[in-house]
Structure 1
Amino acid sequence: MHREGLTKRFGMEPPRLARLLRALEAGYSPSNPYHNSAHAADVLRNLHVLLHGARLTEHYLDPLGLLAAYFAAIVHDYGHHGLTNDFLVATSHPLALRYNDRCPLESHHCAAAFSLIAERPDLDALAGLSRAQRAAFRKQVGCCGAPDVEAPAAPEAPVPRDDAERLLSLQVALKVADLGHLGAELEAHKRWLRCLEEEFFGQGDRERQLGLPISPLFDRSKQGVSKSQARLGLG
């Protein structure tokens, strides 16, 4: 952010920004084999490379949009429980109840991150933003991480075509960055895949204990996602 000139442009104090980033990192459970702080850092790196490589920073993003994109990558799995939305809904998890079973994880990530900042003024590295900038920042972060692309919520007002295309581009870029290990070197991809598989198996174990149907590829007594990919020649 410093190299991109964002800290100076938006008056972000480096010590406060560092505290915020450490607090956000702490919100990623180290017990999650896959959805942990290493994954968040990897997605941030992938997004940075993608935005500049595809020249989106020249054609789609102003500085505030770039800041929002980086922040969206950092918090995109903040507070992840290592479980899927389906599991949360099936077990009536508090997050599923809070968000009425509609993409509880994705809704939680963004809300929890902004709640942290609201509750801890000492972490508010965005204090230098104007009211209008802050509102635009929150909107862009929320849209970047919008999970339900199949049935998006109707906007309160028509979105200008350019803005709609910009937000769609950012959504796609973040999704590609989130799956970036698919384009990594084979051994790196396999390492990430093993982590994802172990997280899946962990949920499968809980489903078995609760007497729930075990989700496909989540049963450690059968082939997991890594062996399924190997059969397709992907791993």
Structure 2
Amino acid sequence: WQFDTWKLREASRGHPLSTLGYYLIQRAGLVQRFKINPVTLARLLRHIEAGYPDNPYHNATHAADVLQTLHVIIHGARLHVHYLDQLGLLAAYFAAIIHDYGHPGVTNDFLIATSDPLAVRYNDRSPLENHHAAAAFSVLRRPELDVTAPLPQPDRTAFRKQVIDLVLATDMKQHFAVLAHFNTHAGKSHLLSNTYPQTSHPSNPNLGTLQIAIKAADLGHLGEELEVHKRWLSHLEEEFFRQGDRERELGLPMSPLFDRSKQGVGKSQVG
């Protein structure tokens, strides 16, 4: 669990996401299982990685950290045995890889308050998360980057649906709805997984479990070594302050914890 993605970034010479993504997908046997062209996979992962802006926090290193933590959760809880078939595992990995793709470094509330084109396009409903998923699937429309091309159409449809459902669940505004869905279906899901393990297309009794897993992974640095967590926290705080600077310039109300003149990590950590 206590994995230092910053060290991976250094070791991979700035390519932690593509390095880890390729390793995990290859190691799980997904390349062979779905007849994915290894060159296409490598090309896609580098393209996605390059599409993460150089934000202090929401960057490709964060995506790699979420991917690694999700991998630990899935295998530590044996979700890949009781909940996921290989298509579901591929979808879960891909969702983590692209979950903040093209992130502009500001919050949904900021996009909505400024009538940003993303907020207008998605009618103020999870504009960031909708953008991450839509932009990533637009990349897959390019033949030289489409790792799903060998999949039968039913598998492509199931893959797309699960990825979208997982990415949309990372919107913190959906936290209580996702949690309520999980609590409602957790017991039923347990019974179904014992009766019908590894169904052909993991769907929706088990979706809530995977959504909780990716949400936990998205905040996974909270469980890492203290110094690693503090580094992540300082990067997140800087990204917040940059948005606060823009809010001040635009005359918008300052978001809580985004005021550079009132910084204090302790306040942001109060539960």
- TM-score normalized by the length of structure 2: 0.79
Which structure carries more helix by proportion?
2
Equivalence map 1:110-189=2 (5 Å): 110-118=133-141, 120-147=142-169, 148-150=174-176, 162=192, 163-189=203-229
Deviation at residue 17 of structure 1 after TM alignment: 0.3
For residue 267 of structure 2, what is the aligned residue in structure 1? Answer: 228
Residues 117-142 of structure 1: per-residue CA shift (max 9 Å, x gap): 11x21011111111110000001111
1:11 and 2:50 are equivalent in the alignment? no
For residue 95 of structure 2, what is the aligned residue in structure 1? Answer: 72
**Aligned alpha-carbon RMSD (Å):** 1.7
Amino acid at match of 2:267: S
Alignment partners' CA distance in 2, 1:149 and 1:35 = 19
Alignment partners' CA distance in 1, 2:114 and 2:268 = 29
1:45 and 2:84 are equivalent in the alignment? no
What is the aligned-residue identity percentage? 64
Compared CA separation, residues 229 and 200, structure 1 to 2 (3 A): closer
SS at match of 1:165: coil
Deviation at residue 228 of structure 1 after TM alignment: 1.5
Amino acid at match of 1:28: Y
Alignment partners' CA distance in 2, 1:149 and 1:191 = 25
Deviation at residue 145 of structure 1 after TM alignment: 1.6
Number of aligned pairs? 223
Amino acid at match of 2:94: F
Amino acid at match of 2:236: L
**Which runs of 5 or more structure 2 residues have no equivalent in the other structure?**
1-24, 179-184, 193-202
For residue 156 of structure 1, what is the aligned residue in structure 2? Answer: none
Alignment partners' CA distance in 2, 1:133 and 1:117 = 15
Amino acid at match of 1:125: V
Amino acid at match of 1:3: R
**Which runs of 5 or more structure 1 residues have no equivalent in the other structure?**
153-158
Residues 30-54 of structure 1: per-residue CA shift (max 9 Å, x gap): 1x00000000000000000110001
Deviation at residue 164 of structure 1 after TM alignment: 2.5
